[in-house]
A and B are shown apart, each in its own frame.
Chain A
Amino acid sequence: MPHPWIPNSYIKNELMKEVGISSILELFNDVPRELLLVKNLNIGFGRPLTEYQLVRVFDNLMKKNAYSYKVPPFLGGGVCFHYVPAVVKHVASRSEFYTAYTPYQPEITQGITRALFEYQSLMADLYAVDVVNASVYNGSTAMAEAVRLTVRVTGRKSAVISRSTHPEVIEVVRTWSEPVGISVSTVDYDRDTGRVDLSELEDQVRKLKPAAVAIQTPNFFGIIEQDLKEVSQVVHENGSLLIVYEDPIFTGILEAPGKLGADIVVGDTSSIGSGLNFGGPSAGILGIRDPEEKLLRQLPGRLIGYTKTVDGEDSGYIMVLQTREQHIRRERATSNITTNSTLEAIKAAVYLTLLGSTGLKKLGESIAGRTAFLVERLKSVGLEPAFKEGVYLREVLFRHPNVSDLRNFLKRHGVYIGPLVDRFYPELSNCGLVCVTEVHSKEDIETLAELVRKFSEVMAS
């Protein structure tokens, strides 16, 4: 049965005649007979669907999702609800972009190489580093690639990661590292400040002399790591490399990691144009501060660079340094990465261009201001931050004796907080995250606080 998505399915006989076969099965005559499927695959709904039938099927499935945000969700845990401007979605829907392949023929895909070059340039400025690649899959794999990069550069076989780095990121680093003999250890956080325990970090670095020390700021608890300079000193004194994971949304107000001693920077574009997408896709940001050019040749992923036309009269952008990559170097490549997250990188470039320097700073301030307001309001209704001496940004880890009930109570009112963190940190059993971003109004935060107060009343009665 023919289908409109397969134009020549309507003229199969004509093509069979051209090819010189009388049965389509002849095209499969080299497939051993016992392998040829006789049954129809049990997939789909047993018959093709019309477009409208598909819409109905899809809509019915979506109706099975019970969540309904009465106010924008306060859910955190590394990714939060940020606004994606219409301009970003509009540009990403240009099908010259989204239906294109990797720019293997750069003369006809200058739009993509140019946009990626701009992405690389913007990211390098945000993080104050020399080079950012054209993206990897997401923040977690960017971190895993970063750790492996340090192992190749230093020849050492261990990495130390702050335990307050996103736990799923740490898991990914372990999956990508431990089977090949790279040991991964964690450094605990200070119970009062929520920041990395500097003396434990120092001890571990001295003892292990790791390839890398990796640290996330603001960390999984929402706490700003204030000692990057000190960490950097310890790390570099011991010949290790410093990896800093920072969400790009904060780079308008926090000093760039590249200026605080990071050798490698890592991030994710979820906050700057990709959106939540139930966890993916986004683009992974991976950059290097590389004054002595020790890291560049070991950097994984595509790189776009400037070049001239062969006739020397014009210029353009192409993929460069491809001898690091799998399609040329095969088993000696710096990574196996092929498909990356180009469209998400382009979206990030659009987002950043739209905001500009002032916008990004204002946005950072607006999130910082909301965080401060949130902490104040939560305190006023008896919700205490888990770390009394820490400074929170965007996400706040708070403590409540009935945190799980509280969360469910809020959810029944269409207000979403979380996740609770005990599945990652058993010692933080009564703690949950609340995330606040530019989308939350004063009233939204008041609504949250009011519901917390109500919950306490219900519990007391």
Chain B
Amino acid sequence: MTIFRQAKWNEPIVYEISRDSKEGVLLDEEFRDYALRFLSKLPKHIIRDSLNIPSLSEVEVVRHFTRLSQMSYGVDLGPVPLGSCTMKYNPKICEELASDRRIVEAHPYLDEEDVQGLLEILYTLQKWLAEIVGMDVCSLQTPAGAAGELAGALMIKKYHRDLGEGHRDEMIVPDSAHGSNPASAAMAGFKVVRIPTDPRGNTDIEALRAALSKRTAGVMLTNPNTLGLFEEYIVDIAREVHGIGGLLYYDGANLNGILGYARPGDMGFDVAHLNLHKTFAAPHGGGGPGAGAICAKGALADYLPVPLVEYDGRKYYFKYDVPRTIGRISWFYGNIIPAIKSFLYIATLGPLVKEVAEVANLNTNYMLKKLSALPGVDLVYGYGRWRKHEFVISFEKLYKETGVGAEDVAKALLDRGFHAPTILFPLIVPEAHMIEVTETESRENIDNLINAYKEIINIAYTNPSEIKRCPQNTSVKRLDTVYGNLPKNIALTYRSLKGKTA
């Protein structure tokens, strides 16, 4: 086994390093007289008299957070094969250029004429994304994928209302969908109707047909779906959904698998969101910020959130008069920095985006072939089919035979210097590992990951307790998810934690 040891600093919580006399930053007190006069104009009870946050010197702040960073793990350290998260390498040139002062210091209320370069980037990105998904228009207003889903669901709702069909209150979502799909539909006021998956890994078209009715507002699909499988009957689904007056929503989380090869717009989708921090290489930031885009075609384009960036042949400008817009999903114009990183990414690759899908899929199927041959591993859906950007294996057999389940295997991967894949999802696959290595892992890295799986499974059959004790090499051993969730233990702040441990 390759040795991996994550840093383990005995680093106290920042409140415990604090000392009143310290300052981490020098501030001028040039206007202190004015400040005192200012404060004297306010009623006393609205002036703060005590504040108790930690005070550290600059070097202590840097050390504290650098130490914490060493107890974290990202793509720059090794593979993060989280399925449906598309954790690809974030090119450094995109990071460098997007931190240009001319961008980060641009105020959102500068006049359009003064930010033509920025607007040209956003306009061009809207165009490129529309071309990639085969839609008419994209809006960059949505700060993340789920915000795009909410926007899309609201657009579908308003569309039906405008047609006098406000009674359409059902959104159909397959059981393999990301949780955000049903959550977004519910936020927009829809009832969610769940559709099962057939043994080939497609949305069960018979069940879908049976669920379609005059109450159907739309169907939300991810394609390729969360099993990494292309929906083989997508053309029929689109025809039937449209046939009863419904609309088709595309969740772009898995676009990486068909980039340049097939387009949601051509498949019959009416509205689609994209995750720029997945497919287009903006970093995930430990959980965000990301950036989304919401794209639409035909009549639905009139419902997009505003503003859009437009070009009249002379100048770029914000367009607010979108006839039936749902309004603003967020303030200003979206998450500009990640959007610019994605612009730079697409600008670099251009027509090579096809290469992204090809290699992502090759890597997936190569790894699937090797892993599915291992003992204790099973495929539940779609035997004999090619996967796209990701695949799902089940450790149910391993669990039954050794007591080592998907979570244990995941923790053992951490011990070998890898991040674990998405586990226990999709919910329809027992003891699931949902694996997406993306196009940015080399064969050597993939082989190392495969070998780690091999080794873990071998140990599971010979000495399962060793795996159940994992992880040992991370900065902390296995954490108790029950303890921290018990009402009497819930501690969400240092103040509360101190109260509980005092």
Contacts and interface: CB of A to CB of B under 8 A. Distances in A.
B143 interface: yes
A282 B24 CA distance: 22
Contacts of A67: 106, 110-111, 114-115
A141 interface: yes
A88 to B, nearest CB: 9
A157 B470 CA distance: 49
Interface in B229-279: 229-230, 232, 234-235, 258, 260-263, 266-267, 275, 277
B462 interface: no
A241 interface: no
B118 interface: yes
Interface string B84-121: 01010111010101011011111111110111111011
A46 interface: yes
A441 B30 CA distance: 9
A62 B351 contact: no
B232 A137 contact: no
A222 to B, nearest CB: 12
A40 B109 CA distance: 38
A15 B443 contact: yes
Q: Give the residue among A122, A181, A280 with the most B Cβ atoms within 10 A.
A: A280
A442 B32 CA distance: 12
A110 B13 CA distance: 12
A318 B478 CA distance: 11
Nearest to A141: B330
Contacts of A194: none
B330 A140 contact: yes
A257 to B, nearest CB: 10
A307 B481 contact: yes
Contact of B326 (A36, A62, A175): A175
B400 interface: no
Nearest to A304: B492
A280 B232 contact: no
Interface string A344-356: 1010011011111
A77 to B, nearest CB: 5
A109 B73 contact: yes
Given A5-B91, A280-B336, A342-B287, A111 B110 contact: no
Q: Give the residue among B43, B54, B183, B333 with the most A Cβ atoms within 10 A.
A: B183
Nearest to B417: A108
A310 B47 contact: no
Contacts of A226: 42-43, 46
Interface stretch (A23-31, A196-204, A207-215, A380-388): A23-31
Nearest to B134: A37
Contact of A172 (B109, B328, B483): B328
B327 A175 contact: yes
B42 A391 contact: yes
Contacts of B29: 362, 365-366
Nearest to B17: A353
A276 B117 contact: no
Interface stretch (B150-158, B205-213, B371-379, B453-461): B150-158
Contacts of B297: none
B313 interface: no
B483 A138 contact: no
B199 interface: no
Contacts of A44: 128, 346-351, 353
A326 B146 contact: yes
B1 interface: no
Contacts of A349: 14, 65
B197 interface: no
Interface residues on A, range: 35 or more
B484 A328 contact: no
A41 B351 contact: yes
A220 B495 CA distance: 32
B351 A416 contact: no
Contacts of A32: 232, 234-235
A333 B275 CA distance: 21
A124 B355 contact: no
Nearest to B115: A65
B305 A63 contact: no
B485 A3 contact: no
B146 A336 contact: yes
A96 to B, nearest CB: 4
Given A65-B106, A108-B419, A141-B330, A96 B346 contact: no
Interface in B375-422: 385-386, 388, 410-411, 414, 419-420, 422
A442 B352 contact: no
Contacts of A341: 285, 287-289
A97 interface: yes
B366 A15 contact: yes
Nearest to B290: A339
Contacts of B419: 101, 105, 108
A175 B229 CA distance: 35
Interface stretch (A47-55, A232-240, A453-461): A47-55
A337 interface: yes
A12 to B, nearest CB: 6
Contact of A359 (B27, B41, B114, B411): B27
A32 B106 CA distance: 46
B471 interface: yes
A411 B352 CA distance: 43
B476 A110 contact: yes
A125 interface: yes
A120 to B, nearest CB: 6
Contacts of A305: 484-485, 489-492
Nearest to A1: B352
Contacts of A256: 48
7 contacts: A5-B281, A100-B284, A121-B495, A172-B329, A180-B187, A280-B289, A369-B35
What 8 pairs across the A-B complex have the smallest Cβ distances? A369-B31, A279-B332, A44-B350, A307-B484, A356-B55, A99-B74, A342-B287, A343-B285
Given A35-B234, A255-B49, A358-B55, 16 more contacts: A5-B89, A6-B356, A48-B348, A51-B348, A67-B115, A81-B105, A95-B77, A125-B51, A126-B51, A141-B147, A278-B103, A279-B333, A321-B490, A331-B182, A336-B186, A337-B144
